[in-house]
Amino acid sequence: MRVQVAIIGAGPAGLMLGRLLELAGIDAVIIERRSADYVLGRIRAGVLEQGTVDLMDRALAGTRMHAEGLVHHGIELGFDGDRHRIDFSALVGSQVMVYGQTEVTRDLMALRQAPTIYEAEDVELHDFDGKPWVTYRKDGVTHRIDCAVIAGCDGFHGVSRHSVPEQSLTTFERVYPFGWLGVLTDRPPVAHELIYAHHERGFALCSQRSLTRSRYYIQVPADEQVGAWSDARFWDELRARLAPETAEAMQIGPSIEKSVAPLRSFVAEPLRFGQLFLAGDAAHIVPPTGAKGLNLAMSDVATLADALIEHFTEGSPAALDGYSSHVLGRIWKAERFSWWMTSLLHTFPETGPFGRRIQRAEFDYLTGSLAAQQSLAENYVGLPL
């Protein structure tokens, strides 16, 4: 097979890139290691920035999102039971959309006409400094795809970044000593908006997927086993970290999904190696506290799609040449914001009582300063593309 673009990975980044290229008449195949059902079964992000909403519309994929997604005009921050609302609309005149990553993925999958090869084993990238090609094995047979460009959209553990010689890549990383234990339940959310809470027992987040489905998270040690957490233990711990009136109002139910996600900050530089381009979690990871991972993946592929369209339709390499430095500027701002939200809201045993006093001062400064709230709001709703 010969195509213009071989996309590795059918997560939101790969599917959105595939869709934007398809609409522009550029020939692209997606090669994915897992089955479509497996990809749809992963419960991940829940908050879309306006830029991501706009991109879904550009991809002509926004109909169900606008019908079923929930527009949120703010979030609540909690600190040891004290509560403060950040009003995005009043502070920066923008908002976010609560619509699950699973639904974004489902909508993009449903629209796709061009081939996606699921359950492709042993995907390998060849010759991306010259004339690139990709091989994979399916049902015991090895296949070859020749292409002009490879887009590595295969997440943090994917093969694309790992195919780059170590000396060509600089990586920056912080691994946090904790993770998030998440529970999904078919009960109405405890509040209309998301609640991010700092407590001396650890961070807690009350999120949602719809008016009848809630998503809750608590900070746990990085090596925590899900099996150690019965539903009852989870609900008790979550409620202990929230303001009493919130804990009391919470409707609890059986969990329909429960998992631990590690927290990490990571950036690889650069994002172009010959004809290979990295985008999304393959290029960077943020801790989920700022709700930036999916949105950053989407802004990478929006830029990459435009650059590829310019390359293939006008023969101009300028935008592709600028891709890496262009997106890295935005990536580092999202890294900074996610690190800052994480630092404010989690407990860090190693920083001791001094660290907690600094966190309290940061919270008090934030709740007393419109400028500080505006900065939070501006970053949370998403910096311009």
Per rule CB under 6 A, is residue 288 in the interface with ligand PHB?
Answer: yes
Q: How far is the CB of 98 from ligand PHB (least distance, A)?
A: 7
Identified binder of ligand RFL from the candidate list 26, 125, 159, 276, rule CB under 6 A: 159
CA separation for the pair 124, 127 (Å, rounded) = 10
The catalytically annotated residue of 216, 284, 288, 346 is 288
Tell me, residue by residue from 169 to 208, as one string, x for binding to ligand PHB by CB under 6 A and - for no binding: -------------------------x------------x-
| Partner touching 281 among ligand RFL, ligand PHB, none, CB below 5 to 8 Å by kind | ligand RFL
Nearer Cβ to ligand PHB, position 18 or 287? 287
Helices marked H in 282-351: 293-309, 318-345
Identified binder of ligand PHB from the candidate list 291, 297, 304, 307, rule CB under 6 A: 291
Per rule CB under 6 A, is residue 56 in the interface with ligand RFL?
Answer: no
Q: Where do the DSSP E strands lie in the chain?
A: 5-8, 28-31, 47-48, 70-72, 74-79, 82-87, 96-98, 116-117, 121-126, 133-138, 141-146, 149-152, 170-185, 194-198, 204-208, 214-221, 255-269, 272-273, 276-278, 284-285
By CB under 6 A, what part of segment 58-87 binds ligand RFL? Answer: none
CA separation for the pair 136, 119 (Å, rounded) = 10
CA separation for the pair 136, 122 (Å, rounded) = 5
Nearer Cβ to ligand PHB, position 101 or 275? 101
Distances (CA, A) of 112 to 32, 60, 108: 14, 11, 6
| Partner touching 215 among ligand RFL, ligand PHB, none, CB below 5 to 8 Å by kind | ligand PHB
Per rule CB under 6 A, is residue 72 in the interface with ligand PHB?
Answer: no
Sheet holding 121-126, edge to edge: 121-126, 133-138, 141-146
| C-alpha 86: how far from chain center | 22
Is residue 292 flagged as an active site residue? yes
Q: How far is the CB of 153 from ligand RFL (least distance, A)?
A: 5
Per rule CB under 6 A, is residue 297 in the interface with ligand PHB?
Answer: no
The catalytically annotated residue of 292, 311, 323, 346 is 292
| Partner touching 261 among ligand PHB, ligand RFL, none, CB below 5 to 8 Å by kind | ligand RFL
CA separation for the pair 364, 232 (Å, rounded) = 33
User: Can you name the residues that pair with 277 across neighbouring β-strands?
Assistant: 151, 272
Q: Are 281 and 288 in contact (CB under 8 A)?
A: no
CA separation for the pair 73, 87 (Å, rounded) = 6
By CB under 6 A, what part of segment 114-133 binds ligand RFL? Answer: 120, 123
3-state secondary structure 226-278: HHHCCHHHHHHHHHHCCCHHHHHHCCCCCEEEEEEEEEEEEEEECCEECCEEE
Is residue 136 flagged as an active site residue? no
CA separation for the pair 219, 66 (Å, rounded) = 32
Core vs surface per residue 96-108: b (16+ CB within 10 A) or e: bbbbbbbbbbbbb
Tell me, residue by residue from 32 to 71, as one string, x for binding to ligand PHB by CB under 6 A and - for no binding: -------------xxx------------------------
Per rule CB under 6 A, is residue 239 in the interface with ligand RFL?
Answer: no
Identified binder of ligand RFL from the candidate list 6, 9, 181, 304, rule CB under 6 A: 9
| Partner touching 9 among ligand PHB, ligand RFL, none, CB below 5 to 8 Å by kind | ligand RFL
Q: Which residue has the tokens 């998030």?
A: 180
Q: Is the alpha carbon torsion for 186, 187, 191, 196 positive or negative?
A: negative
Is residue 198 flagged as an active site residue? no
| Partner touching 289 among ligand RFL, ligand PHB, none, CB below 5 to 8 Å by kind | ligand PHB
Nearer Cβ to ligand PHB, position 196 or 273? 196
Nearer Cβ to ligand RFL, position 37 or 245? 37
User: Can you name the residues that pair with 257 across neighbouring β-strands?
Assistant: 184
User: Catalytic residue numbers?
Assistant: 72, 196, 288, 292, 380
Q: What are the residues binding ligand PHB (CB under 6 A)?
A: 45-47, 194, 207, 215, 288-289, 291
Q: What are the residues binding ligand RFL (CB under 6 A)?
A: 8-14, 31-34, 39, 44-47, 101, 120, 123, 153-155, 157-159, 180, 182, 261, 280-281, 288, 291-295, 297
